[in-house]
Amino acid sequence: MPQNGHVMNLEKLERVYTNYAAVYDQTFGRVFHQSRELAVRGLPIAPHDRVLEVGVGTGMALPLYPRHCQVVGIDLSEGMLKKAQQRIEEHGLDHVQLYRMDAGHMEFADDSFDIVMAAYVVTAVPDYRAVISEMIRVCRPGGRIVMLNHFSNGNKFIAAVEKVISPMCMRMGFRTDLSLNSVLEGTTLHVERKEKMNPFRFWQLVECVNVKNSCQHNSQTHQSG
């Protein structure tokens, strides 16, 4: 039963974002773009690095990545990916590849990427723990996982307001009552940098180092298999 519910949630999420695809760049995308641009331009991308953007959407950030790296973008929404593919062709981004994929069940091998970027994703998925776990799995030891997101504030009044508006936001595809501590609890992520971003300094850029031990990770993967 939970599995079926999870599938239904994913299907609903895909419909929501595919419906937004045609107007996303002029609405939500425009509001979020300044923070997204600052986040991508601040990534420590070395030549030949492999970068994964989880929830690539319409690909607004894709032209911002340097051409000396390889970029892979994934998204659940076919409508969003079509817009992203158009952007790739318009800008001649031959260092970018796109895949339709569930971020909670990625089809990449362990340790495939040097940097994993997730902008406005963690609070917009049915199972954020699965997504974080997958981001850690596909990111190499010592690699970077960068999240640009809203995380609930420790202020009790603001937290109460967030809990009230969260069900409404969920219908739009995201929640507001998730804390950063909840996201990071029990993971191998070490926060190296936190920065509040515009608009309204409501979103946070959280840059983490993936400190998982490769030997331990491989052993756990083998045992689980």
- Mean pLDDT of all residues in 146-166: 63
Residues counted in the chain: 225
Would you say residue 116 has pLDDT above 80?
yes
Please tell me the distance from the alpha carbon of residue 166 to that of residue 34, in angstroms, as a whole number.
Answer: 24
Helix residue ranges, H only, the chain = 2-20, 28-41, 78-91, 128-138, 156-172, 180-184, 214-224
* pTM for the full predicted model: 0.77
- Mean pLDDT of all residues in 8-36: 58
Which amino acid, one-letter code, is at 107?
E
What is the average pLDDT value for the chain, to the nearest integer?
78
Domains and CATH numbers, the chain: 2-152+179-224 (3.40.50.150)
- Is 99:126 a contact under the CB 8 Å cutoff? no
Q: In what order do the strands lie in the sheet with 203-210?
A: 96-100, 70-75, 50-54, 113-119, 139-149, 203-210, 189-197
Q: What is the pLDDT of residue 221?
A: 38
Which amino acid, one-letter code, is at 80?
M
184-210 pLDDT, tens digit each: 999 999 999 998 876 555 678 999 999
Residue 132 has phi, psi (to 5 degrees) of: -60, -45
pLDDT band at 51 (very low <50, low <70, confident <90, very high): very high
201 φψ region: left (φ > 0), alpha (ψ -120 to 50), beta (else): left
Of the candidates 182, 58, 52, which has an alpha carbon nearest to the alpha carbon of residue 129?
182
